[in-house]
Amino acid sequence: MLALQVSTIYYNVIFLKRSIDIQDSVIAFLNENKAIVESKLKNGDAIKVDLLNIQAQVDIETNRKVDLQNSLQKQINLLEYTTGTAAANGRAFDFDMPVRTVGDALSEAQTNNFDFIIAKDRIKQAQDELGITKLINRPSLDLGANVGVKNNYLPNINDPRFNYNAGVSLHIPIYNGGRTKQQIKLAETSVRQNELAIESMVNNYKKDIDQALTDIESNIDRIKNTQGQIEQNRVAQELTASRFKNGVATNLDLTNASTNLQRAEFTRLQYEYQLCIAKLQLANLVGYRYW
């Protein structure tokens, strides 16, 4: 669980860093076109409201960057609190693990996951207690012996002499008011409760594994589908910027083009992040050792 917690924080840091990169590209694009508006304003080809509009958009995107930076610093602080280090120099969602079927993943979880290991130990302990309880009402034969030296023998009471003793005792339970039967019944109930607990755990883990595998597959497909959207919006932004420079596009057109590209890039980033987190969840469920 600790590995999942730390890994999630680490990839949160990467997500926020790359989100800030997207914001920087948006702000840079807007500032480039702001410079164009300032030039046009000097030449009388634009009005002041055009400059104010684009500056307002720059301010909006800058505030979003500040929010992201604030969230990033909180995650870095949490990482340092959890691990003792604030180092998170990665830039990619590079966690990977072999994708399994639900059956294979569940089988691996039952072997490697500590929840299952502990649950099986509980069953074994309950079974051992049941076996011991069943032996309580049986006859038992005890053998005992002691060897050593002893004084106080007359007439020389201070002289130690070799001494030994041995004995045999037979215990035959006759009647204990049904206590043994009740203890056996309680022990059998404990075994059954632990068996039912692990059956319930199997069902829950199967459900969670199935969900994690579904998330992995769906996010892989989503990432593929966003590539064309990003390319289309990037070309549209470049075309709009060129038209704006030549005076045939408005500031609103420019803002829309920038927003569309930003939204598409953020969407892909979110899918990449969700894919990484789904793989971490699957690794945690199956007990995959990556730490």
Cβ–Cβ < 8 Å for 161, 151: yes
pLDDT at 98: 79
Q: Which residue type, as a one-letter code, is found at position 109?
A: A
pLDDT at 224: 93
Q: Which residues contact 24 (CB under 8 A, 6 or more apart)?
A: 65
pLDDT at 175: 57
pLDDT tier for residue 50 given thresholds of 50, 70 and 90 = confident
Describe the crossing of helices 2-43 and 251-286 by its angle, rounded to 10 degrees: 170
Q: What is the pLDDT of residues 221-234, one digit of tens each?
A: 999 999 899 999 99
As given in the structure block, the two tokens for residue 12 are 């949160």
* Length reported for the chain: 291
**What pTM value is reported for the model?**
0.78
Give whole-number Cα distances, 22 to 69, 250, 262, 273, in Å. Answer: 12, 23, 7, 15
- Residue 209 CA to residue 99 CA, distance in Å, equals 11
Q: Is 80 exceeded by the pLDDT of residue 171? A: no
pLDDT tier for residue 286 given thresholds of 50, 70 and 90 = very high
Q: What is the pLDDT of residues 4-35, one digit of tens each?
A: 899 999 999 999 999 999 999 999 988 988 88
Quote the mean pLDDT of the chain: 85
Q: Which range, of 34-48, 143-157, 194-208, 233-247, averages the lowest pLDDT?
A: 143-157
Cβ–Cβ < 8 Å for 234, 260: no
Residue among 174, 181, 167 at smallest CA distance from 139: 174
Q: What is the pLDDT of residues 173-221, one digit of tens each?
A: 665 556 777 878 888 888 899 889 999 999 999 999 999 999 999 999 9
- Residue 110 CA to residue 122 CA, distance in Å, equals 14
pLDDT at 172: 65
As given in the structure block, the two tokens for residue 22 are 């997207």
Cβ–Cβ < 8 Å for 210, 286: no
Return the percentage of the chain with pLDDT > 90, whole number.
40
Q: Is 70 exceeded by the pLDDT of residue 61? A: yes
pLDDT tier for residue 2 given thresholds of 50, 70 and 90 = confident
pLDDT at 165: 74
Cβ–Cβ < 8 Å for 7, 79: no
